[in-house]
Every structure is written in C-alpha cells, then in structure tokens.
Amino acid sequence: MLTICLRFALCALWLLAPPAQAADITGKLRVIDGDTVDVGRTRVRLYGIDAPERGQPCTTLNGQNWACGDWVTRQVQDLFDGQRVRCVAKDTDRYGRVVAKCYAGDADIGARLVQDGLAYAYRKYAMDYDLDEKAALVAKRGIHGFTLQSPARYRLTRIKGRDAQDPNCAIKGNISAKGKRIYHMPGQKFYDRTGIQPAKGERWFCSEAQARASGWRPARR
C-alpha cells in the first residue's frame, strides 16, 4: 500500500511540474544571409528582423542599381561570422528553422543589425526592434539610404514567380541552356514562347533596373 501511495505521489508531482525549457543553442555562427545563420548544425532564423534577400537589388538615391542584398550578407559576415554565440529559441518557422534571439557575448545580434541599417524590424511578428529601426531610418544608415522593395514583397515576387498585387511585374527572367541569364520584355520576339520555371532559378521582374541589378541581361530581340 505504501509503495502504491509513493508512486501516486511521484506521478502527481511529475504532472504538476512546469514543462522543461528548451536548451539554448550554442556554437560557432556561420552566416547564410542577412537574417539566417547556422549555429553549429542548427539553422536559425533571427527573431524579429527581416533583411534583404541575397541577390535582392536596390537603387541608390542617384539612380544606380546595386545588389544590396549581397552587400548586407557580407556586412553581417564581417560582424559575426565565426563567432561563438548563444541563441534562445522562440519558435519554429514553416521551413523547419528555429526562430531565435541570438547573442554574441552580451550583444543582441538582431538589435545590432537593425541599428546598423542591415535589417528591418519585422513588426508583423515582433515589435522588439521598432525603435532601433526608427533611429536607423532617421540617420539613413545602411539600407535606409537606398530604395528597395521590402524583403517580404521581394520574396513574393521571387517565390511565386509573379507579384499578384502588381500586374506590372511582367518581365521574364529566363536562364538559357548555356546558363545565361536573359530577360525578355513584353512585345519582344521570344517573349510569348519563353516559359518561367522558378524551380530552375528563373523569375519575373517588375522593372528592367531590377532585372539588371539581379544579374540578367536584356534579350537582343
């Protein structure tokens, strides 16, 4: 009888105990892009920020096209690549990545990137870095000194092949059999027969400037 009571008491304590917290993720950081990193063997999406995608173009204030997404990635690499970091998990996204706040020493990596104008505060999911972005915007730091689509809108154009909210995104970015990146404008000779296969890296563009900045050249006819 005593044994049964003891077992019952232990089970009750186990049921009433708070759930164990997930262990922090620690390890050497490797930058994938402006808001995605590998920590050890774990792919992490930085919580509360949204950075330009690799290859995402922007336009300088004097009208020059520039691959600012690649620039952002290089800046983040210079700041944090190879450092040992600690990440506190918040969630898991639809791609299976851990969404986490990461720290290099006492420095909040997400906060630093927003403060330096290398990422936006991702207000759709968190307001943690709202004031950091506003300060960077006023100072025109980093990406705030250029004209570019929001990363979320750019992803919609790239992943779905065409921005459903903008019917003007009709330029076809095709990759030839020889691997050449060529864009076709409506009205050109091969426009209608050119198909777009996003799985191969082909995509639609909303402007010639965007196509050129992303590495595509115009079709000759």
**Three state DSSP letters for the chain:** CHHHHHHHHHHHHHHHCCCCCCCCEEEEEEEEECCEEEECCEEEEECCEECCCCCCCEEECCCCEECHHHHHHHHHHHHHCCCEEEEEEEEECCCCCEEEEEEECCEEHHHHHHHCCCCEECCCCCCCCHHHHHHHHHHCCHHHHEECCCHHHHHHHHHHCCCCCCCCCCEEEEECCCCCEEEECCCCCCCCCCCCCHHHCCEEECCHHHHHHCCCEECCC
Angle at 70 between CA 68 and CA 73, to 5 degrees: 110
Q: What local confidence, expressed as pLDDT, does residue 2 receive? A: 43
Percent of the chain with pLDDT over 70: 84
Q: How far apart are CA 181 and CA 58, in angstroms?
A: 19
Q: pLDDT tens-digit profile of 116-167?
A: 999 999 999 999 999 999 999 999 999 999 888 889 888 876 655 544 345 5
Structural domains in the chain, CATH included, are: 25-147 (2.40.50.90), 151-218 (no CATH)
Q: What local confidence, expressed as pLDDT, does residue 77 receive? A: 96
Mean per-residue pLDDT over the chain, rounded: 84
Residues annotated as part of the active site = 45, 53, 97
Contact criterion met (CB below 8 Å) for 76 and 31: yes
Contact criterion met (CB below 8 Å) for 43 and 97: yes
Residue of 21 and 30 predicted with greater confidence: 30
Amino acid at 99: V
When pLDDT is averaged across residues 187-216 and rounded to a whole number, the result is 82
Lowest mean pLDDT among 105-114, 159-168, 206-215: 159-168
Residue of 179 and 60 predicted with greater confidence: 179
Q: What local confidence, expressed as pLDDT, does residue 160 receive? A: 52
pTM of the model: 0.66
Q: How far apart are CA 49 and CA 43, in angstroms?
A: 16
pLDDT at 19 over 50: no
Lowest mean pLDDT among 2-11, 27-36, 59-68: 2-11
Residue of 91 and 206 predicted with greater confidence: 91
Q: What local confidence, expressed as pLDDT, does residue 209 receive? A: 83
Contact criterion met (CB below 8 Å) for 43 and 98: yes
pLDDT band at 16 (very low <50, low <70, confident <90, very high): low
Number of residues written out for the chain: 221
Bridge-based pairing of strands 42-46 and 98-104 is parallel
